[in-house]
Chain A
Amino acid sequence: MRNIIVLIQRFYLFLLFLVLQVVALYILFNNNDFHRAEFIQHSNDVTGYIYSKRSSLSEYLRLREINDELSLENAVLRSERPENFLYIRDDKDTVINTKTLQRYVYRTAKVVNATVNREKNFLILDRGKLSGVDADMGVISNGNLIGVVRSASDHYAVVMPIIHADFRASVKLKRSGVIGSLQWRGGDPRIADVVEIPKNIPVTVGDTILTSGYSTYHPAEIMVGTVETIDDETSNEYHVLKVRLAADMRMTSQVQVVGDLYKMEQDSLLNLVRQQDAANSRK
């Protein structure tokens, strides 16, 4: 017994170090929803305050650019107004549109904090559950893909951008419509990879990559980027495409959060089918 006490006295520092290290590593590797929620809650208070101050300062310094961005977007939207179009008369006089339902809604939000130089980057938006932003919603900026909302508190939301090591999105080649998978392997925040496009599909440098719309996160046909280099050495079956992202994560300050009004329906249908499949395979 006395030996143990002597041992502890001799190594108490190392023991203290071990105990604290275990705590730290446990938190790091169990970085689950609990910690993320806690993180957002706190970013609501002190760090959120500090980061909002900083972002308002840097935003002030970039007012001219932001103005240009917004007026450009205004021009684009104005050109889409119905009175700008010549309508070719149909056989009907009035079209009461009951054939289409609105599927996606867009909400604007401001980026209050972002990292771009890490392996697992994130963005914090100044809108949360109270203004309709919730987990698994898509995020775009000027029509370009940014990422997906990972979780939201009442007033803030954390976005997993394309430049996060765990980010995946279903994308397609605009030319042929072939589906691939978008991911990012660290390094340059302007370049991401598209994999899983078979080698028999012709791809040329400069091809446009769009979202496929196969997930409920993003609508189809959202701009992702253009092919910069094509690597056919790494894999036997697939192209590895380096894609220059259309959105520059380092300059993004205004974003739109895309909500899918039918997400619930689609997800619950999928779940139902999965449950049936699971039940069938058990029989």
Chain B
Amino acid sequence: MLLTVGSNILRIAFLILLQAVVVSRIQLFDGLILPWVYIFGILMLPFETPRWVTLLVGFVVGWVMDYFSGPMGLHTTSCLTLAYMQPIVQKFIAPREGYDSIQRPTIQSMGLPWYLTYAGVLSFIHHAWFFFFEVFRFDDFFYQLVHIVLSSLATLFLMTIGQYLIYNSKSAQL
């Protein structure tokens, strides 16, 4: 239990730093593609996390991220929405027998199709919310849509690669 909490906190802290120092510097096609990989920390919370904890974690993670990459409140509101939707999406795509307590939301534990649906849908929700509230106008709707879709695909791609790099079947317990 304590190990799980600690490893999740460490992971989130590492991801926020990675996002601020490295990933936010990525400039593909003049800012058209802008991945926010730090949401991986929220996606990796164990299935049995109480929903109110997920919500608070989302709020705090967004808040900290806002300090690195203003304006204040933008990451907070997007992460909060992500954290609210996460258990709902999990419920939608749950296997017939539900989730096991030893299962984790990883590729190794749940398989690639499940993971791609889960992370893809949630990163799209997060990015759509984020880029909508960043601009807050409806002109250039098509550009914004491309912006959102390409950015969430980039995030999904980086998160999937990251999983293959970091996790092996042994450490998938954490």
Q: How many A-B residue pairs have CB under 8 A?
A: 92
Residue ranges of A at the interface with B (Cβ–Cβ < 8 Å): 12-13, 16-17, 20-21, 23-29, 31, 35, 38-39, 42-43, 46-47, 50-51, 54, 115-120, 122, 165, 186-190, 250
Contact B55 A17 (CB under 8 A): yes
Q: What B residues does A118 contact at CB under 8 A?
A: 31, 34, 69, 134
Report how far A38 CA is from B71 CA in the complex, Å: 12
Q: Which residue of A25, A42, A115, A165 is within 8 Å of B67 (Cβ)?
A: A42
Q: What A residues does B30 contact at CB under 8 A?
A: 117, 187-190
Report how far A42 CA is from B74 CA in the complex, Å: 17
Also in contact, A28 and B133, with CB within 8 A (given A17-B80, A39-B72): yes
Also in contact, A21 and B24, with CB within 8 A (given A28-B73, A28-B74): no
Contact B31 A122 (CB under 8 A): no
Q: Which 7 residue pairs across A and B have the least CB separation, nearest first?
A: A28-B73, A117-B31, A27-B73, A24-B77, A24-B76, A188-B30, A17-B84
Interface readout for B134-163 with A: 1 if CB under 8 Å, 0 if not? 110000100100000000000000000000
Interface readout for B1-44 with A: 1 if CB under 8 Å, 0 if not? 00000000000000001001100101100111010000000000
Also in contact, A31 and B24, with CB within 8 A (given A24-B77, A25-B77): no
Residue ranges of B at the interface with A (Cβ–Cβ < 8 Å): 17, 20-21, 24, 26-27, 30-32, 34, 51-52, 55, 59, 62, 67-74, 76-77, 80-81, 84, 133-135, 140, 143
CB distance from A13 to the nearest CB of B (A): 5
